[in-house]
Structure 1
Amino acid sequence: MAGSKPSSAPPQRLGLTGSIGAGKSTVAALLRERGLRVLDADAQARLVTEEPETLARIGAAFPGTVRGGVLDRPALSAVAFADPVRLAELNAIVHPRVRARMAALEQQAAYAGARWVVQDIPLLFEGGLETGMDAVLVVDAPLELRVQRVMERSGFSREEVLARDARQTPAAEKRQKATVVIENGAGLPELEAQVDAALRALGIA
C-alpha cells in the first residue's frame, strides 16, 4: 500500500493536521501502523532546536532562553507565544530548517519507493503549507473534549488551552479546507474505521 518499486519520483503528500487536543498524534500512529511513512514536523523542530547554530540564533534573539547550550523551552514559549511579532521571529529561525529536514526525509522515502508520505504538521494552514499537499486530512473533536484532553496531558489551565487554540486557524476553517475530516470524539475502534475509510477515499488503501 505505502510503497512500490524503488524510485526517486516524488511521492504524493498527505498533509495531516488538527487543532490542539484533537488527537492528531493518535491518527499519525494509526497511519504508521498501516504502512505509511509519517514525517513529523514537531519531531524535526525539536531536533533543529538542538543544533548549535540554531541555538545561537535563538539565544541572540531571545536572551535568557538558552542556558549552557540547552534550550529552555518553557521560557521560550512564554516569550514567543505572548507576542505574534516575536513568534514570527522565532518561526523565521526554525521553520526553514524544519522544511529542509522534511524535504530530505521525503527524498529518502522516494528512494525507498513510497507512493505517499504523510506530512504531520500542526500549523499546516497557518504556514500556508496546504498548497503543497495532494490531500489534507484534518483531525477534529468537540472543543470541550479537546480542552479536557490537553489539560489532562499537559497540566495547562483551561485558559491556557483556550489561548493556544485561539492562536491557531479556527477548527471550522480547517474543516472547510480539508480533503477529509476525521472526527475523533468517540473511541479508538471508531477512529480506526474512519482512518481506513479516509485512506480508501483518497485511493491510498
Structure 2
Amino acid sequence: MNQVIGLTGGIASGKSTASDYIKQKGYPVLDADIYAKKSTAKDGPAYPGIIEHFGNDILQEDGEIDRRKLGAVIFNDTKEREVLNKLVHPEVRKLMDSDKEAALSESHVFLDIPLLFENGLDRQCDITLTVYVDQETQIERLMARNNFDRSEALARINSQMPLSEKKEKSTKVLDNSGSKADLFEQIDEFISSIEK
C-alpha cells in the first residue's frame, strides 16, 4: 500500500535539497510553500481575506501581495502571523489534500511541509522524515546563503521549532551534517526500505 511521507526540516537544514532529490527519483513531492503561493496569489482563495485584514498597503502595483511588506508585518507580530496562518493554512490543506489523494493511487507521496509538526500535519502521515543538522551548521549555512550576520541567522532559526525537537518526533532522521552524497545515500536507503 502506498504511504504518505511527511518531509520536514528547518531553515538551511537541506530540506529543499532532499526534496529535489526525491523528485528526481520519480516520486511526487507536494510542496506546502508552492501551495501557499497559489492560495495567496491574486486569484487565490486566501487573497480576499488577506487584503480585508492587512489592507491595500501590502500590495504591489500589479495587485499581487508584496511578500516583503507582509513579512515585515508578520515576523514582528505573533498575533498578525496567527491571523495570516488561519487564512492561508486551511486553503493550502484543501489544495494539497486533493493532489495527495490523486497521487496516492499511483505511488508513495511525499509532503514537503516546513511546519509539519507545528501544525499537527504529522498526524496525516504514515512516516515522518526530518532533515537534520546541528545548530552551529545551520547558523553557518544560513549566514553564507542569505548573507545574514549571526544574530539575524539566530533570529530566523529561533522563530522555528528546534530541529532537535523535530528529530525526536520523527519516524526517521536524515542527517545532513556531511556531504550531499551522504544525504542522497540515506535517502536511497530510505526509499529502498519503503519499496520492500
TM-score w.r.t. the length of structure 1 is 0.87
| Structure 1 contact 55–66 (Cα < 8 Å) conserved | no
Residue 82 of structure 1 and its aligned partner are, at CA, apart by: 1.3
Residue 137 of structure 1 and its aligned partner are, at CA, apart by: 0.5
List runs of 5+ in structure 1 lacking aligned partners: 1-8
Residues 1:127 and 2:119 aligned together: yes
Partner of 2:49: 57
Q: Deviations over 1:67-109 (max 9, x none)?
A: 3311111111111121221111000111111111101211221
Residue 154 of structure 1 and its aligned partner are, at CA, apart by: 2.5
| Structure 1 counterpart SS, 2:145 | helix
In structure 2, distance between residues paired with 1:156 and 1:127: 27
Partner of 2:16: 25
Partner of 2:181: 189
Residues 1:37 and 2:28 aligned together: yes
| Structure 2 counterpart SS, 1:56 | helix
TM-score w.r.t. the length of structure 2 is 0.91
List runs of 5+ in structure 2 lacking aligned partners: none
| Structure 2 counterpart SS, 1:58 | helix
Equivalent pairs counted in the alignment come to 193
Q: How does 1:129-148 map to 2 (within 5 A)?
A: 129-148=121-140
Residue 152 of structure 1 and its aligned partner are, at CA, apart by: 2.6
| Structure 2 contact 3–104 (Cα < 8 Å) conserved | no
Residue 200 of structure 1 and its aligned partner are, at CA, apart by: 3.2
CA RMSD of the aligned region, Å?
A: 1.7
In structure 2, distance between residues paired with 1:158 and 1:44: 31
1:83 aligned to which of 54, 77, 94: 77
| Structure 2 contact 143–153 (Cα < 8 Å) conserved | yes
| Structure 1 contact 20–165 (Cα < 8 Å) conserved | yes
Instruction: Give identity over the alignment, percent.
Output: 37
Question: Would you identify which runs of 4 or more consecutive aligned residues in structure 1 move more than 3 Å?
Answer: none
